[in-house]
Amino acid sequence: MDSFRIVLYVLIFLLSVMGNMLIIVVLALNKRMRTVTNCFLLSLALSDLMMAIFCMPFTLIPNILEDFIFGAAMCKIVAYFMGISVSISTFSLVAIAIERYSAICNPLKSRSWQTRSHAYRVIAATWVLSLLVMLPYPVFSVLRSFRKNDGSVGHMCRLQWPSSEAEQTWYVVLLLTLFFIPGVIMITAYGLISRELYRSIQFELNNNPETTGVIYSEL
């Protein structure tokens, strides 16, 4: 593994840890910033920090040494927490999109349920759901031995499924729950938000001739 990639890994790791730690500290200490959206951002920062801690070092070091030296238990733990962090990040982004859609497109109705206590319940649900969805990782992650070029024995942390059908089913479930369904929800939510904002701008322009004149004069 060349030195450039190592430096890049380390740089991304440090920026991710420091950036997410800064967000967590600021949101945790500043009570005035504990809005509904920021609650979801805090959960997102925690999951991203988890990804940095459990992904970067445990990917970089085995690549450098060409051997997973951390043992079978860490193989299961690392795979599990990597999966959890990805799942929580995805669900948090979906929750933020739905919250923004409700606040902008249905502001009156959303006030009754857009509270921090409701946000905490949603966040707890995303974490519990992620813990359950990613259970196959610790169950099926194993260390596999292989022969290195110098003749020594190395180890890889890999998923070992009981059957090809189980593997295919698992990846279809992941594709639906972490990519397709969240993608459709976020695209729809932000598309409706964009349409609502465009209508609001058009309404303001049509009802404020002076503003319209200023805009055209600047153009």
To 5 degrees, how large is the angle CA 80–CA 121–CA 31? 100
Q: pTM to 2 decimals?
A: 0.82
For 164, how many CA atoms within 13 A lie in the half-sphere containing its CB?
Answer: 0
Measured from the Cβ of residue 68, the count of other Cβ atoms closer than 10 Å reads 21
Count of domains for the chain: 1
Q: Which of 28-42, 43-57, 116-130 is predicted least confidently?
A: 28-42
| pLDDT band at residue 194 using 50, 70 and 90 as cut-offs | very high
| pLDDT band at residue 107 using 50, 70 and 90 as cut-offs | confident
Domain containing 183 — which CATH number?
A: 1.20.1070.10
What is the C-alpha radius of gyration for the chain, rounded to an integer number of angstroms?
Answer: 23
Q: Would you mind telling me the total number of residues written for the chain in this entry? A: 219
Range of the domain at 155: 3-218
Q: Is the pLDDT of residue 217 over 60?
A: no
| pLDDT band at residue 147 using 50, 70 and 90 as cut-offs | confident
